[in-house]
Amino acid sequence: MAEQLNYGSALLYLYWLMSGADGKKNFDSDDPEWRTMKIMRKAEKISNNDFDYFVNSDFGSKEEQLDKAVKTIKNSTHEQKVRALAWMDKVMLADGDIHSKEYELYVNARKEFDIDEEEVKNMKAKLPSL
């Protein structure tokens, strides 16, 4: 896996982990989780270069991916941490079905970042929707 992630790359890893937590990954442009990721890329100004770097990286294990993403986001601003969680929440809810593994991942990340659920809800309301 890439040794250095930036905030945008870390968001992509969280998206990847969240979208696959239920055991299903869908790369269809009509998939709500994929569309949410595309909106996230635009809103967070994640460049094509960052996306290509992410796509072409050795992802490592799920645990390694999560560890790298969490470490990167922990070094971000408080607002970025809240935004990352709000995006995770949006991806989790995009297909209308919350899988227990998705929720577990979200809760664990929220605890790692020490962010209150109410802050996430407030931020989520500010993010673009599908």
* Residue found under tokens 């470490």: 71
Residue type, 67: D
pLDDT at 20: 84
pLDDT at 5: 84
Residues of the chain with pLDDT > 70, as a percent, come to 93
pTM exceeding 0.85:
yes
Is 103 part of any domain? Answer: yes
Count up the domains in the chain and report the number: 1
pLDDT in tens, 73-82: 999 999 999 9
Catalogue the long-range contacts made by 74-80 (C-beta closer than 8 Å, 24 or more residues apart): 74/112, 74/113, 76/7, 76/10, 79/123, 80/7
Is 117 part of any domain? Answer: yes
Is 2 part of any domain? Answer: no
Is 28 part of any domain? Answer: yes
Check whether 56 has a pLDDT greater than 70: yes
Using pLDDT thresholds of 50, 70 and 90, give the confidence band for residue 2: very low
pLDDT in tens, 3-43: 578 999 999 999 989 988 877 666 677 889 889 999 999 99
pLDDT at 21: 85
| CA-wise closest residue to 75 among 4, 130, 7 | 7
Can you tell me the distance from the alpha carbon of 82 to that of 87, in angstroms, rounded to the nearest whole number?
9
CB 60 within 8 A of CB 1: yes
How many angstroms from the chain centroid is the CA of residue 52? Answer: 16
CB 33 within 8 A of CB 94: yes
Q: What are phi and psi of 9, to 5 degrees?
A: -65, -40
Structural domain harbouring 109: 7-126
Is 94 part of any domain? Answer: yes
Is 1 part of any domain? Answer: no
Can you tell me the distance from the alpha carbon of 65 to that of 58, in angstroms, rounded to the nearest whole number?
10
Check whether 47 has a pLDDT greater than 50: yes
Query: Any idea what the CATH number is for the domain that residue 98 is in?
Result: 1.10.3680.10
CB 12 within 8 A of CB 51: yes
